[in-house]
Amino acid sequence: MAFCTGCSLLCDDIEAEFEGGKVKRTMNLCRKGRAHYDSLSIDRLTPAVGGSEVRGEEAVTAAGELLAGAECPLLLGFGRSTLEAQKLGIELAKKLGSVIDDPTSRQGLIMERILKGEVPTCTFDDVRNYADVSIYWGDDPSSSHPRHLSRFSYFPRGEKRQRGYEEDREAIVIDVRRSPTATIAADGFFQVSPGGDAAFAEALLAALGGKIPKVEDKKRMLNLATKLRKAKFGAIFTGPGLADAQDGDLGWFFSLVARLNEFTRFSVIPSLPDYNTRGLHQSLFDVAGAVSPVSFEDGIASGPKFGVTGLLESFDAVLVVGSDPVANLPAPLARKLARIPMVAVGTHRNLTTDAASVTVPTAMAGLEAGGSALRSDGVRVDLEAQVKSDRPTDLQIVEMLMEVV
């Protein structure tokens, strides 16, 4: 049995056969996971400086020099690095006096509250065993985390949920479009207009308080409120559709969660994009008491103003680790980012590595290298290498950079 590091569910029941460094046959891997395994032999990154191929050590030295020579460097990514590499990456940020940020997701806003203990959370196994209501808000795990519903949140039977999804569980999807997850939820799908999440929550709060909600279909909203009031154990899965809605102001969401918790326990688990985004959030929280972006320029400070979106022009060097911000960020920001001298450390070629002046290849965690990671519900797993590789791990690269700078 092996782990899959294709998404933040870190499925642990994978069987895979390899032949000549390529994957031959897999069992229980979803399509996304299979593509992740297939990518072992596709489009791997090569060490390069200024566009010409060099030896690995030379690339690391060039990367170190670029970072050491910078006045205000920015560290991006680390979502696809092991916990050990993340912790050392934070040390590197401290040493450089730089800012560390993961721009792929704004779910950090929710995660920060969870880590502070202000929003209740639970593990996926609790969801499987006890949850009778699963709410997917701005989240489409069928596409982003394919085994989410089948492994934990809707279809499996659990300790207190022996009769399966038809009788024992309820799926509620709140989204701007009828996503594949919404198709499964069928009658439990509530469509909101883009940015209309807060208004929906307000109507739901009114319905929970026994008032008539100000929405078109009042009866349906009241039925939903009754369903939530009667729930025994609720789970709310938040996706990018929620975190990025309302321009990052999620006060309404936290009030709704608090109100729901007056009736019964409703736990929140964000569906995070990369396999160890939760690990990064935890590591940053342990050091800075906040989730990215965190600045070590002048003591420890955090807040959106320090991040890539706020301060991009003031950075004179960027280290990207296991991420593709040039593809993920909005075009104007990505264009600006691509003009800054950049070091890209990663497993595969992507838009960011193409724009980078120095590229450093690493091994794929969980496949070519071991390490530990946190699942999106915070459960720690220890990954092991399944195939041999001569590529260094993220941790080794960050260790070498620590020595050079």
Smallest distance from another protein to CB 223, Å:
21
3-state secondary structure of 63: helix
146-205 residues in contact with another protein (CB under 8 A) are 146-147, 149-152, 154-158, 164-165, 180-181, 183-184
Closer to another protein by CB, 87 or 151: give it.
151
For residues 15 and 249, which CB has a smaller minimum distance to another protein in the complex?
Answer: 15
Q: Compute the distance between CA of residue 294 and CA of residue 313 in angstroms, rounded to an integer.
A: 17
Distance CA 393, CA 279 (A): 17
Least separation in angstroms between residue 227's CB and another protein is 20
Closer Cβ to another protein, 25 or 305, answer by number: 25
Nearest to 356 by CA among 364, 366, 346: 346
* Chosen residue from 15, 43, 57, 187 binding another protein by CB under 8 A: 15
Residue 275 dihedral angles phi and psi, to the nearest 5°: -65, -25
Neighbours of 182 (CB within 10 A): 21
Verify binding: residue 128, another protein, rule CB under 8 A.
Answer: yes
Among 107, 142, 323, 362, binds another protein (CB under 8 A): 142
Query: Which of 27, 212 has the CB closer to another protein?
Result: 27
Structure tokens at 64: 């170190």
**Least CB distance from residue 151 to another protein, whole Å?**
4
| 3-state SS, residue 301 | strand
- Binding flag, residue 391, another protein (CB under 8 A): no
Q: Residue 100: which of 383, 333, 318 has the closest Cα?
A: 318
Per CB under 8 A, 96 contacts another protein: no
Q: Cα torsion for 75, 81, 86, 91, to the nearest 10°?
A: -50
Question: Is residue 223 within 8 Å of residue 204, measured between CB atoms?
Answer: no
Q: Which of 143, 223, 226, 314 binds another protein (CB under 8 A)?
A: 143
Residues at the site binding another protein, with contacts judged by CB under 8 A: 13-15, 25-35, 128, 142-143, 146-147, 149-152, 154-158, 164-165, 180-181, 183-184
